[in-house]
């Protein structure tokens, strides 16, 4: 089976779930310039009276300038791609992202979290309690625009930000709650081996709260916290939710678990994934494209890249709706604890999947009397993998 079949299952089975120019400051309609972000046509807040409430939200950097003496250089960024940003969250938590350039003197890389405070027009941030404190000066602030600056040695860095309005709220599926999945291999059809258990807890809004993966006597716990348009995982990694209620993909964070650098995610009008673009080889900057086509009986993805071309078909069991609290196909196609289980990526397939490829393998579904899936068996050999599904009473 092809490499991409394995590594893209996290995106494929959920199917509905950023770049800046470092060469030319002019970025078109979504770009910024040295005059953007400072006022936004809104009433200005007196900088010495800036409060934490004034700063709360997601701010996208449109323009950044580095000045040393009489010399300066600058870059403009497409705010719609959301690469360079600051996120001020309740509880005085924060997140920031950057790429090839640092942001306000901080090399954030993909996503960096921090603690922060504000007083007398100055924002203080620390990545860890023992980290040195970094200070940002609020030069201008209105409802939807902000200018911050900082001093790094002899260099002054100034950034213009626009408040993000492309934000939404994650809404989970409200079907029957899956509380546990037991996975094992049935060697020679008789002996259970490699037994794993996945336990799921939800909050009062049916959103996933805790996942416990138990295997070989060890327990691995993942927690999820929801604040406005943000999902925080293990109090560290940050997922940002767009207007459609699903992840706004950011290329610094490898949500798809593919290793390659994803540069674009495209959905169709119904919210299903229609295309993924990625850099297949950073050394030669070769682009790969995966496209998805849908029908009433299933869907197909087609891969075209420098290294390989491939096409895989997935078939539905149209008699079994995919409507439980978990996106069940993600369990047996890819793994029982990735983000795709909880519809963070987008709109899920309407039915469960029971076949992959023309002759690769099928899945047998055992049903409870009330129509729920109770067991899934991968029928590709005499020692199949098995998933047992347990629900809240």
Q: Where are the domains of the chain?
A: 3-17+170-227+246-391, 28-163
199-222 mean pLDDT: 94
Round the average pLDDT of the chain to a whole number and report it.
79
Question: Are 300 and 290 in contact, with CB atoms under 8 Å apart?
Answer: no
The torsion of the CA quartet 253, 38, 118, 124, rounded to 10 degrees, works out to 50
In 3-state terms the chain splits into helix, strand, coil percentages (rounded to 5) of 10, 50, 45
Q: What is the model's pTM? A: 0.67
Q: In the beta sheet, which residues pair with residue 255?
A: none
Phi first, then psi, for residue 191 (nearest 5°) are: -100, 125
**In this predicted structure, what is the pLDDT of residue 146?**
96
CATH of domain 28-163: 2.40.128.280
Question: Are 127 and 96 in contact, with CB atoms under 8 Å apart?
Answer: no
**In this predicted structure, what is the pLDDT of residue 336?**
37
**In this predicted structure, what is the pLDDT of residue 285?**
57
145 Rama sector, left if φ>0, alpha if ψ -120 to 50, beta otherwise: beta
Q: Residues 249-269: pLDDT tens digits?
A: 544 444 444 445 667 777 788
Question: Are 112 and 125 in contact, with CB atoms under 8 Å apart?
Answer: no
Phi first, then psi, for residue 317 (nearest 5°) are: -100, 100
Fold of 3-17+170-227+246-391: Porin (2.40.160)
Cα gap 117→166, rounded to integer Å: 25
Question: Which of the listed ranges 40-44, 210-214, 263-267 does the model predict with the highest average pLDDT?
Answer: 210-214
DSSP strand E in 243-360: where?
A: 261-267, 273-281, 286-295, 298-304, 309-321, 351-356
- Of the CA atoms within 13 Å of residue 75, those in its CB half-sphere come to 20
Cα gap 102→49, rounded to integer Å: 28
- Of the CA atoms within 13 Å of residue 70, those in its CB half-sphere come to 0
Flag whether pLDDT at 234 surpasses 80: yes
Q: Residues 1-38: pLDDT tens digits?
A: 343 333 344 343 333 222 233 333 333 333 334 334 44
């Amino acid at each position: 089976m092809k490499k991409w079949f394995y590594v893209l299952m996290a995106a494929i089975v959920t199917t509905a779930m950023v770049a800046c120019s470092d060469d030319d400051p002019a970025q078109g309609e979504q770009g910024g310039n040295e005059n953007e972000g400072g006022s936004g046509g809104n009433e200005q807040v007196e900088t010495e009276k800036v409060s934490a409430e004034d700063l709360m939200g997601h701010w996208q950097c449109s323009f950044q300038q580095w000045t040393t003496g009489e010399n300066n250089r600058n870059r403009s960024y497409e705010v719609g791609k959301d690469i360079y940003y600051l996120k001020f969250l309740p509880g005085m938590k924060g997140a920031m992202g950057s790429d090839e350039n640092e942001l306000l003197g901080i090399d954030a890389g993909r996503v960096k979290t921090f603690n922060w405070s504000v007083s007398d027009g100055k924002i203080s941030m620390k990545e860890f309690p023992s980290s040195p404190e970094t200070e940002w000066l609020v030069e201008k602030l209105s409802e939807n625009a902000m200018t911050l600056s900082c001093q790094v040695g002899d260099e002054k860095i100034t950034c213009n930000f626009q408040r993000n309005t492309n934000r939404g709220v994650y809404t989970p599926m409200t079907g029957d709650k899956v509380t546990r999945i037991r996975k094992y291999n049935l060697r020679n059809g008789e002996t259970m081996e490699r037994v794993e258990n996945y336990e799921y807890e939800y909050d009062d809004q049916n959103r996933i709260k805790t996942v416990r993966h138990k295997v070989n006597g060890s327990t691995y716990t993942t927690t999820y916290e929801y604040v406005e348009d943000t999902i925080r995982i293990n109090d560290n990694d940050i997922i940002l939710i767009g207007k459609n209620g699903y992840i706004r993909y950011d290329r610094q964070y490898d949500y798809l678990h593919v290793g390659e650098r994803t540069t674009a995610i495209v959905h169709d009008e119904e919210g299903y994934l229609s295309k993924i673009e990625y850099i297949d080889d950073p050394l030669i900057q070769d682009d790969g494209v995966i496209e998805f086509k849908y029908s009433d009986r299933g869907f197909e993805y087609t891969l075209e890249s420098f290294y390989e071309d491939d096409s895989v078909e997935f078939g539905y069991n149209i008699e079994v709706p995919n409507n439980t609290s978990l996106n069940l196909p993600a369990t047996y196609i890819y793994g029982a604890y990735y983000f795709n289980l909880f519809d963070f990526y987008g709109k899920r397939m309407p039915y469960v999947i029971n076949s992959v490829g023309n002759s690769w393998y099928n899945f047998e579904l055992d049903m409870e009397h009330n129509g729920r899936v109770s067991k899934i068996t991968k029928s590709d050999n005499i020692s199949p993998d098995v998933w047992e599904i347990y629900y809240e009473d």
